[in-house]
Amino acid sequence: MPRVPPQQQQSTNMEEIKKGAWSPEEDQKLKSYIIRYGIWNWSQMPKFAGLSRTGKSCRLRWMNYLRPDVKRGPFTMEEVEIVIKMYQELGNRWSAIAAKISGRTDNEIKNFFHTHLKKHLKLKNIDASMKSKVKRKRVEKTKKSEEINNAGKAQEKTLSFLAIGPTMTTDNNSMIGTSTNNSSSLMVSPCGSSSYNSIITFDESQRMNVDQPIIEMENTVILESNPEIHQSDSLSIESLDEFDTNSFWFHLLNDAHRFIL
């Protein structure tokens, strides 16, 4: 790809650069230009396409919205599961996660995670990463991630989320819930029963011990601690707005329940 002399680039910068939301006309210009000429140089493209935008802005608009293969609309349960699973494996590498879901962009997945999943699951390490102002070098992240994988410690990362949610009743008359005195257990029991017949516990060394039956790690739905609900051992679905039967949260608990039984 030929490099452009600095003075030539400055000429574009002298023009008024538009920011903010894209108009339908701008979308049309960019789309038609790319369809006709393809993507050859983002920084030069706006000038030739007749757009007063930066190359970055054009690239973002195309990648996240105008590309023909971009999928719109709500996430399916399958997609949600992939996002969660991949997040547990890869962390906040949204582009890598997006690569696993056809038609979804990294931006969309990131937004979805921060709005829906973060809200419901309250993953501890998300909060930590949000609060942290320290910029980690990508090399270090990759290195760390490789180390984790190589050492077989991917499970440790998964387990660190803790598996806690409120008790709820599922549609096949069993109850899935959490211990009020053990913040790292996920339990399933017949509805109304005071004893749990399946308990997953996480011990201090982050190993997983499972009372019968054996549960594969990748089948385990990992949820986060929700302290305000701990005092109640048997909240019903009706008492919690977020537990409508169409919510992904409900489905996740159902999935966990199904895997365990």
Partner DNA sequence: AACAAAGGCAACCGCCGTCGC
Partner DNA sequence: GGCGACGGCGGTTGCCTTTGT
Binding site for DNA (CB under 7 A): 1-4, 6, 9, 18-22, 41-44, 53, 55-57, 59-61, 64-65, 92-96, 106-108, 110-112, 114-116, 119, 129-130, 133, 135, 137-139
Closest contact distance (angstroms) between CB of 1 and DNA is 6
Closest contact distance (angstroms) between CB of 225 and DNA is 18
Closest contact distance (angstroms) between CB of 254 and DNA is 20
The SS3 assignment for 187 reads strand
Closest contact distance (angstroms) between CB of 224 and DNA is 16
Which amino acid, residue 233? D
| Rounded-to-integer distance, Cα 122 and Cα 124, Å | 6
CA distances from 171 to 174, 184, 244 (A): 7, 24, 12
Residue in the structure block whose two tokens are 């937004």: 111
Q: Which is nearer to DNA, 62 or 196 (CB)?
A: 62
Q: Which is nearer to DNA, 2 or 152 (CB)?
A: 2
Buried b / exposed e over 126-143, threshold 16 CB at 10 Å, is beeeeeeeeeeeeeeeee
Which amino acid, residue 230? H
Closest contact distance (angstroms) between CB of 63 and DNA is 7
Q: Which is nearer to DNA, 106 or 156 (CB)?
A: 106
Q: Which is nearer to DNA, 124 or 207 (CB)?
A: 124
- 168 bridge partner residues: 176
Q: Which is nearer to DNA, 93 or 258 (CB)?
A: 93
Helix axes 248-260, 77-90, angle to 10 degrees: 70
